[in-house]
Every structure is written in structure tokens, then in C-alpha cells.
Amino acid sequence: MLVDMVESGSIDPQKILTQQEPLMSAIEAYKAFDRRQPGWVKVELIPGK
């Protein structure tokens, strides 16, 4: 169902991006995401940041 919604354009997954973290912090970011901390819905890891 979610794939269909993205394909049809009814939702844009990039608009729910909640965190941006440097790639070097990947392990800490995954730990925070696993703990279901508030505000951690979708995380982007940015190389070279």
C-alpha cells in the first residue's frame, strides 16, 4: 500500500525526513532510531558532513 502511495505521488517520503546526521554518526543515529526516541521517524545520513 505504501509503495502504491509513493508511486501515485499521494505522499512524498522526503517530506517526512526528521533527522539529518553525518555519515560518521551512523551507529549513534541507528541506536537513537532503535530506541524510538521522539522525532526520529526517518533519518538521512549525509556523507562528508
Distance, CA of 38 to CA of 36 (rounded, Å): 6
Domain count, the chain: 1
Is residue 32 one of the residues assigned to a domain? yes
Asked if the structure places residue 5 within a domain, the reply is no
pLDDT at 7: 92
Whether 6 is in a domain gets the answer: no
pLDDT tens string 4-18: 988 999 988 777 777
Residue 19 lies in a domain: yes
* Mean pLDDT of the residues in the chain: 84
Q: What is the pTM of this model?
A: 0.49
Does the residue 36 lie in any domain? Answer: yes
Print the domain residue range for 37: 12-46
In sequence order, the 6+-apart residues with CB closer than 8 A to the CB of 34 are none
Residue 27 phi/psi, 5-degree rounding, is -65, -45
